[in-house]
């Protein structure tokens, strides 16, 4: 499910405000997102979501995005250089290299599965238990290392598991609202953690049990409902590479209890 959402929501999908609404990118533009919800976010909630989106896009994936030439609205701020550690006889020399020669790794957090599925605490925070590292481009750096007589390569990376989790929650929430409509839900679980900046997020979000298969697209976001109306979203933000798939419990469909 990844049809471009054309629906106009007409209220903030996080806090319900109906004033000064802006369009909301479901997946950030910089991660390949062209899918938007019209009039769906108020200025205050936009500031909150823009904060963690920026942290993820520039902090975690800044160099990777530059190397993969993903879209940007701020080309001048793109990194053009990277640091490589060359190990020789037990010591490491750090050298600056053009971004085309850098080692590129996809580094994604591993979280526990959502607490919802393992009788966890409803207020549990989201914390990473590890990292999943996928080497994407190592060849040019290896050649450089060989030419300089290095025995091993080192690469620093930035890791922002909390901001990344908030971004996943936002994508899950937006995608489910696009597919089911805001009025289709009797309960929505993610706006609270998103606006309060993650408290309780570990109960609703985590690493999925299985990964979605790779496919020729920037990302893969699927919204699913079960027979009792429980809505979950599966998210792989690096579908071409076959990155980790995360799962978020979004809410419940139906008429609210009186
Ligand atoms: Zn709002």
**Domain chopping of the chain, boundaries:** 76-154
What is the structure's pLDDT at 6? Answer: 56
Distance 14 CA to ligand 1 centre (A): 5
* Structure letter (DSSP) for residue 8: B
**d(C-alpha 109, C-alpha 35), whole Å:** 24
The 10 Å Cβ neighbour count of residue 34 is 12
Distance 36 CA to ligand 1 centre (A): 16
210 and 245 in contact (C-beta within 8 Å)?
Answer: yes
Residue linked to tokens 């007589």: 149
88 and 150 in contact (C-beta within 8 Å)?
Answer: yes
pLDDT at 235 over 80: yes
Distance 64 CA to ligand 1 centre (A): 31
What is the structure's pLDDT at 4? Answer: 46
Q: In b/e form, how buried is each residue of 66-87, taking b as 16+ CB within 10 angstroms?
A: bbbebebeeeeeeeeebebbbe
Closest CA to 144 of 99, 105, 106: 99
Q: Which of 10-19, 102-111, 224-233 shows the lowest per-residue confidence on average (mean pLDDT)? A: 102-111
pLDDT band at 257 (very low <50, low <70, confident <90, very high): low
**d(C-alpha 156, C-alpha 82), whole Å:** 9
Report the predicted TM-score, pTM, of the whole model to 2 decimal places: 0.90
Distance 16 CA to ligand 1 centre (A): 6
202 and 112 in contact (C-beta within 8 Å)?
Answer: yes
Distance 3 CA to ligand 1 centre (A): 24
Distance 41 CA to ligand 1 centre (A): 5
Closest CA to 244 of 65, 66, 106, 59: 106
Distance 48 CA to ligand 1 centre (A): 9
End-to-end CA distance of the chain: 32
Q: Which residue has the higher pLDDT, 226 or 75?
A: 226
Distance 149 CA to ligand 1 centre (A): 56
Distance 77 CA to ligand 1 centre (A): 29
Average pLDDT on 190-210 reads 92
* Structure letter (DSSP) for residue 253: E
Distance 55 CA to ligand 1 centre (A): 20
Q: In b/e form, how buried is each residue of 140-157, taking b as 16+ CB within 10 angstroms?
A: ebeebbeeeebeebebee
Distance 44 CA to ligand 1 centre (A): 6
Q: Which of 32-36, 52-56, 229-233 shows the lowest per-residue confidence on average (mean pLDDT)? A: 32-36
Distance 189 CA to ligand 1 centre (A): 15
C-alpha radius of gyration, the chain, whole number: 20
Distance 191 CA to ligand 1 centre (A): 9
**d(C-alpha 42, C-alpha 174), whole Å:** 14
Distance 19 CA to ligand 1 centre (A): 9
Distance 249 CA to ligand 1 centre (A): 20
């Amino acid at each position: 499910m990844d049809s471009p959402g054309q629906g106009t929501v007409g209220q903030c999908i996080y806090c319900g405000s109906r004033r000064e609404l802006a369009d909301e990118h479901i997946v950030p533009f910089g991660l390949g997102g062209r899918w938007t919800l019209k009039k769906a976010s108020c200025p205050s909630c936009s500031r909150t979501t823009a904060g963690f989106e920026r942290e993820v896009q520039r902090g975690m994936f800044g160099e990777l995005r530059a190397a993969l030439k993903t879209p940007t609205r701020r080309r001048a701020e793109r990194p053009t250089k990277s640091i490589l550690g060359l190990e020789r006889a037990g010591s490491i020399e750090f050298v600056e290299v053009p971004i085309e020669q850098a080692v590129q790794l996809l580094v994604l957090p591993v979280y526990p599965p959502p607490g919802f599925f393992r009788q966890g605490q409803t207020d549990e925070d989201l914390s990473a238990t590890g990292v999943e590292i996928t080497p994407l481009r190592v060849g040019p750096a290896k050649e450089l290392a060989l030419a300089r007589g290095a025995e091993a390569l080192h690469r620093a990376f930035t890791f922002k598991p909390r901001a990344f989790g908030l971004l996943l929650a936002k994508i899950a929430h937006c995608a489910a609202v696009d597919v089911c409509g805001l009025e289709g839900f009797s309960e929505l679980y993610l706006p609270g953690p998103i606006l309060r900046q993650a408290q309780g997020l570990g109960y609703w979000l985590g690493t999925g049990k299985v990964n979605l298969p790779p496919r020729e697209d920037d990302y893969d976001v699927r919204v699913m409902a079960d027979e009792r109306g429980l809505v979950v979203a599966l998210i792989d933000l690096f579908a071409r590479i076959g990155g980790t798939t995360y799962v978020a419990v979004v809410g419940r469909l139906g008429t609210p209890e009186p």
